[in-house]
Structure 1
C-alpha cells in the first residue's frame, strides 16, 4: 500500500470487507435557499460553490477533532479497519450500484459530508461507528459518535456472473481513481492541481461534500456531484461514471476563484515510476520493472501523436508540451507482460492506463509532466496535467470538461500508426563498449508496420537538443515483426538535460508516433 511520501501526493488505501449489520441511515439534508420544488441537480452545486467563493476560506468547522488514536495510525493499521459488508448502501435492493464508506484516520483526516439524492431530494448519510469493524485497535477513550466519513467507494457487477466489483473510489483531498474489467488499482486522478511543481507550497483542494444520485434497476451509470474548496477557489464537479471493460468518467468542473493562481493544473493524473527497461543505472531489485505507468501519451491538436517514456530522474524534471486544443493526454501502462515485472502481489501488468479526452475547445496551454526522484515504489513520483495559458484572476469562473478513461489494452490512438513499445539505453559501441556515448534502442509496432516488407526504405527522422546523433539504424526484427531504431548519442559533459526526438517514415509518409525522451547524465 502507498503512503504520502513526496511533496505533492496523497495516496489511497482501499479496505477489505469485514463484519455486518444494517445499511446506514439517511436523514433529510439541510435546506438551501433553493425552492424545494426544484429537484436537486448540478446547478444547485454550482450555486453553492459560487456563493462560497465570495466568502473567505475557512477550514471545515463542522469536522470534529480527529482523535490521535486514529490520526496516528500507520498504513497497515488503517487498512485493518474494515467496513461491515451488510451495511453496504443499497444492498438487497436489486440495484446495479452499491456504496461503502471510508472512516477518517491515517492521512485522511478531513471529514466529508455525503448525501444520497432520491426522487430529486438529497438525504445525508448518517455516520455511525457501527458501520466499521475497528479490528484489534484499542482506544484509550471511546470514539466520538460523530467521527464522520473520509470518502466512499463504488461497486458494480462488471462480470457476467453479476458479482459486485469495486470500480471507483473517492478518498483524500480531491483524489479519486477507477478501474475497468480485469484491472487492479494503480494510478490516481484528482479534481485539481494548484501550484504543483513550483518552489512554493502546493495547495491541496478538498472535495468536502458529495451528492450521489440513487440509481434505478436499469442504470448503467452513476452520477456524483462534488463541492471542492480551497484557499484559492471553490468548484462544482459532476462525475458521470460508466463502468465497463473501460470505465469512463464524464467530468464537468465549474471553478470560482477567490484569488489568482500561478499554475492551475486541470485534469491532473498521479502515478508511480520506480524503474523500467529504460532505466540506465543499477537498481538492486529482483523485479525487472516496477511502475504503474510507463509513458505519457499526447494527442496534439494538429493530429500528431507523441510518446514520452517515463523516468525516475536523479533530479526533479519538469517537461512542458505546448499545444492548442489537444485531442487529449494520458499516463499509460503499455507493457502488459507479467514476465517484465515478475510481481505476483502487485500485478503491475494489470494496472490501468488513464486517458484524458478533451471535450470542447481547451484553447492554448500546455501539458505538464513532472518527474520526481524516488527511492521506493510507494512514492507516487509522476504527475501530468493541462495548464491553460490564460491567466487566472480573482472573481473569475471557469467551466472545464473532459472524459477520463481507465483502460487496459485498447489505445486512443488511430489504428495503424506505429507505437513505441520499448525504450532501452546503454553504453555505445559495438564489440567494445564506449561509455562516453549512449546507445538508444526503440522498438515500434503496429499492424501496418508488421505488413511492411523488410526491404522497404524505412528510415528515422532523429533530432537532439545538444550533442550529435551517430550510427542511426532502422531494420525489421524478424522474430517479432517490429521495427527497431537504434542510434548513439555523443554529447559534451553538461548538467542540462538533452531532449531527443524520433519517428519512422518512408519518404514523406509518417509511419509512427513521435518518440521523445529527456536524457540526463547520471
Structure 2
C-alpha cells in the first residue's frame, strides 16, 4: 500500500474526521498552536485504551509487529520510510501523525491492517483508535539496499537516533521539567508533521508539538543520517502561567551501571556495563571530563557556564574486551553531543545521577539549565545540533581514557587513583619531564602527589596519586589536568569521590 497524499485521501474516506487541508505547514504554524495552548489550562490526554492493550507486558507488547510493507513512502521509492508504533503497555497516549508538503497537510489515520497481532492473542476488530504511540524513521544507513533504523520518537518527548554501525543506547528528550525534584514532569510530543522528502533528499524535516502541565513547545528537527547522524533542533518553549517545575533544555538520558573505576560487581561476569561512561563539557574556555558514577542515592552536579559551546554523554571506551558482551554491543553504543547554535544564555550544565542495581534503567541525565528561566507568555528559543556519533568532539586536548580506584599499597586508609590519558602523536617518554599534573582535592588529603608515567602498552600516559579522606568527608571534589609549561595538555578531569 502506498501512503501518499492521494492514497491517504482514500483512507480518510473511512475516517471523515481526518481532513485533507490546503495549508502551509512550518515552524511558525506549530508555534501558533503552542502559544494558544499555553494560554489555556492544561488538559491531560483523555485516551482510553482497550483493557487488553493496557494489560500487555513488555514482551507481549513487542509482539505487535508493524508490517513494513505498509511503511509511509515505501512504494514511492523515497530515501526515507516511516513505521508506526501501536499503543499499549506503557504507551497509552495517542500521538497524531501528519504528512505534509509545501502546500498540503494530511493526518495519517489509524489502520489496524498496518500491524500483525497474530502472536499477541488480542483482537483489534472492535477498537476505535485515533492515532499511534510513536514513529520510527528508516533509511539506507549501513547498506544502500537496506532501510535501517535511524530515528525513533516514542514516549513523552523521548527520541533515539543511530549513526552508521551503531546500536541503540542513549536517548535525548525535547525538554525536561523538574528533573530530580518533587515536581518532575514528562511533557509529550502530541503531534508530528513529517515533510514528504524529494527523491534525492539526504535530510528529513520533522515538526512536533509539545504539551505538558508546565510548558508547551514547537520543535523543528532536521535529520541528516550518516556516519555521524546529526539532528538540527529548534526548540521554542512557552511556560504556562501556573508552571511548577524548572525547565531544562537539550536533556540526554543514559545508563551507567559500573565501569573500570570500581571492582566488578558480584554476580555479573562482564568487566563493564554502561551506555555512556562520562560527561564532556565545552564551556568556551575549557574542556571538562566528568566520569559517571553509580553511588548509592541521588546526586546532582552543577557546572556553571557563561557561554556554553557544547556538552554530551559519551561512550568513550570502544574496546570490546572491556565489555565482553556479544548481545548488547556496549562498545558500539553512540555518544550524544549537543553542539550549541548561536549564543546560548548564561546557565549551568547539570548532571543528575541516581543509583541503580540493574542495566535496564536509564539513571544518568544531563541537561542545560538557563540562569534566567522562561517567562509565561514569552517564547523561549534555543537552537542546537544533536549528534549521535562514535568519535569524540575534537577538543585539541589529550583525553581522559580511564579512571581506576583501589586501595593504596603504601599508605594506610588511603586510596590510589590511576588515570589513563592519551598522549600527543609521536610523544617520546623523555618528554614527561616537561609535564606537570595539577591536582586539587577538596575534602581529601593528598598523601602521594601525582606521578606521570609513560604507558608503552597504550602509547599513552598514566597518572597515579594517593588520597586519604578527611574526617567526616562524605564527598570530595577532585580535579586534575596535565600541563606542558603554561599550556594545558589534557582535558580537566573532575571527579566526585565518595569514600
The residue that corresponds to 1:424 in the other structure is: 404
1:67 to 36, 50, 55: 50
Say if 1:279 and 1:311, in contact at 8 Å, map to a contact too: no
Deviations 1:255-291 (CA, angstroms, capped at 9, x unpaired): 1111345421100000000111012574421000000
**Matches of 1:449 and 1:441, distance apart in 2:** 23
Deviations 1:381-401 (CA, angstroms, capped at 9, x unpaired): 000000000033322320111
Deviations 1:324-380 (CA, angstroms, capped at 9, x unpaired): 111100000011111110111100000000000011111210001011100100011
**Matches of 2:265 and 2:192, distance apart in 1:** 46
1:439 to 409, 413, 416: 416
Question: Residue 518 of structure 1: SS of its match in structure 2?
Answer: strand
- Larger mean CA deviation between 152-161 and 102-111 belongs to 152-161
Say if 1:66 and 1:147, in contact at 8 Å, map to a contact too: no
The residue that corresponds to 1:265 in the other structure is: 248
The residue that corresponds to 2:324 in the other structure is: 342
- Larger mean CA deviation between 37-46 and 245-254 belongs to 37-46
The residue that corresponds to 1:333 in the other structure is: 315
1:367 to 349, 373, 384: 349
Question: Residue 447 of structure 1: SS of its match in structure 2?
Answer: coil
The residue that corresponds to 2:498 in the other structure is: 520
- Larger mean CA deviation between 438-447 and 272-281 belongs to 272-281
The residue that corresponds to 2:483 in the other structure is: 505
- Larger mean CA deviation between 486-495 and 352-361 belongs to 486-495
Q: Is the alpha carbon distance of 1:449 and 1:493 closer, same or farther for their aligned partners in structure 2, counting shifts above 3 Å?
A: farther
The two structures have a TM-score, normalised by structure 2, of: 0.94
The residue that corresponds to 1:39 in the other structure is: 24
Say if 2:278 and 2:290, in contact at 8 Å, map to a contact too: yes
Deviation (angstroms), 1:449: 7.3
**Matches of 1:136 and 1:495, distance apart in 2:** 56
Task: Confirm whether residue 382 of structure 1 aligns to residue 367 of structure 2.
Answer: no
**Matches of 1:37 and 1:66, distance apart in 2:** 32
Say if 1:89 and 1:98, in contact at 8 Å, map to a contact too: yes
Task: Confirm whether residue 222 of structure 1 aligns to residue 204 of structure 2.
Answer: yes
2:452 to 474, 483, 493: 474
Task: Confirm whether residue 463 of structure 1 aligns to residue 443 of structure 2.
Answer: no
Deviation (angstroms), 1:143: 4.4
**Matches of 2:170 and 2:76, distance apart in 1:** 32
2:61 to 53, 60, 78: 78
The residue that corresponds to 1:50 in the other structure is: 35
The residue that corresponds to 1:174 in the other structure is: 157
2:303 to 310, 314, 321: 321
Say if 1:261 and 1:392, in contact at 8 Å, map to a contact too: no
**Matches of 1:506 and 1:480, distance apart in 2:** 20
Q: Is the alpha carbon distance of 1:364 and 1:261 closer, same or farther for their aligned partners in structure 2, counting shifts above 3 Å?
A: farther
Q: Is the alpha carbon distance of 1:467 and 1:101 closer, same or farther for their aligned partners in structure 2, counting shifts above 3 Å?
A: same
The residue that corresponds to 1:392 in the other structure is: 374
The residue that corresponds to 1:130 in the other structure is: 113
Q: Is the alpha carbon distance of 1:89 and 1:362 closer, same or farther for their aligned partners in structure 2, counting shifts above 3 Å?
A: same
Say if 2:264 and 2:270, in contact at 8 Å, map to a contact too: no
The two structures have a TM-score, normalised by structure 1, of: 0.90
Question: Residue 157 of structure 1: SS of its match in structure 2?
Answer: strand
Q: Which ranges in structure 1 are unaligned for 5 or more consecutive residues? A: 1-20
Q: Is the alpha carbon distance of 1:207 and 1:294 closer, same or farther for their aligned partners in structure 2, counting shifts above 3 Å?
A: same
Question: Residue 146 of structure 2: SS of its match in structure 1?
Answer: coil
**Matches of 1:38 and 1:239, distance apart in 2:** 20
The residue that corresponds to 1:358 in the other structure is: 340
The residue that corresponds to 1:233 in the other structure is: 215
Q: How does 1:67-146 map to 2 (within 5 A)?
A: 67-139=50-122, 142-146=125-129
Say if 2:142 and 2:165, in contact at 8 Å, map to a contact too: no
Question: Residue 48 of structure 1: SS of its match in structure 2?
Answer: helix
- Larger mean CA deviation between 399-408 and 144-153 belongs to 144-153
Deviation (angstroms), 1:506: 2.1
**Matches of 1:369 and 1:473, distance apart in 2:** 30
Q: CA RMSD in A?
A: 2.0
Deviation (angstroms), 1:23: 4.9
Task: Confirm whether residue 485 of structure 1 aligns to residue 463 of structure 2.
Answer: yes
Say if 1:261 and 1:393, in contact at 8 Å, map to a contact too: no
Deviation (angstroms), 1:161: 3.1
Deviations 1:279-308 (CA, angstroms, capped at 9, x unpaired): 257442100000000000001122x00000
Count of aligned pairs:
489
